[in-house]
């Protein structure tokens, strides 16, 4: 049974982290989701914060689980000043995490990738992405799902001086 608007608005946000991973040319890592039905489903690595885990611990864990990139292959450039939240589309709230959350609240990190592209592995854990690419921020904004665009725009605005800047 679908949740009412009032029931959805009473739900909490899931605490998460997001990672804007920049290569040496200042381009952003993006993965195309496996559950994609169109090309408009690319995203940066992100995921939930486990109990007892700090946001910085979670970003390294999520990055490794989703991309195979180890902590020693990245450097933290900056942590976002604010948590950024977004709501799931109304039609999927009751299906995502069994209706426990109305959306996600994320702490974002800008990281510099200092490893080798050959070390990127999408198959180390249960895969979330079918392929990946280094993109500029304008290309990525066009390829993400619409309900995340506002959050991505805010992240790109906050980390603007890092985007496109060579290492």
pLDDT at residue 93, as a whole number: 85
pTM to 2 decimal places: 0.93
pLDDT tens digits, residue range 93-136? 887 777 899 999 999 999 999 999 999 999 988 899 999 999 99
Burial of 88 (0-12, 13-18, 19+ CB in 10 A): buried
Residue that the structure tokens 């001086």 belong to: 161
pLDDT at residue 36, as a whole number: 64
Gyration radius from the chain CA atoms: 16
E strands, the chain, in order: 13-22, 28-33, 42-43, 46-48, 74-79, 84-87, 103-113, 129-135
The answer to whether 30 and 120 are in contact (CB under 8 A) is no
Number of other residues whose CB lies within 10 A of the CB of residue 21:
24
Q: Which two tokens stand for residue 96?
A: 């995502």
Q: Which of 70, 66, 59 is nearest to 131 (CA)?
A: 66
- Which regions in the chain score pLDDT beneath 50? none
Enclosing H/E stretch for 137: helix 137-143
pLDDT at residue 131, as a whole number: 94
pLDDT at residue 162, as a whole number: 96
């Amino acid at each position: 049974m679908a949740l009412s608007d009032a029931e959805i608005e009473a739900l909490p946000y899931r605490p998460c982290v997001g990672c804007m991973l920049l290569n040496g040319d200042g381009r952003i890592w993006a993965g195309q989701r496996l559950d994609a039905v169109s090309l408009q489903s690319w995203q940066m690595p992100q995921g939930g914060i486990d109990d007892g885990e700090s946001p910085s611990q979670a970003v390294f864990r999520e990055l490794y689980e989703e991309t195979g990139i180890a902590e020693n292959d990245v450097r933290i450039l900056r942590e976002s000043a604010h948590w950024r939240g977004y709501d799931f589309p109304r039609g999927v709230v009751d299906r995502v995490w069994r209706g426990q959350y109305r959306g996600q609240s994320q702490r974002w990190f800008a990281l510099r990738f200092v490893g080798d592209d050959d070390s990127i592995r999408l198959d180390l854990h249960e895969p979330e992405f079918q392929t990946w690419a280094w993109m500029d921020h304008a290309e990525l904004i066009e390829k993400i799902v619409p309900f995340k665009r506002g959050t991505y725009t805010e992240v790109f605005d906050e980390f603007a001086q890092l985007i496109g800047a060579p290492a």
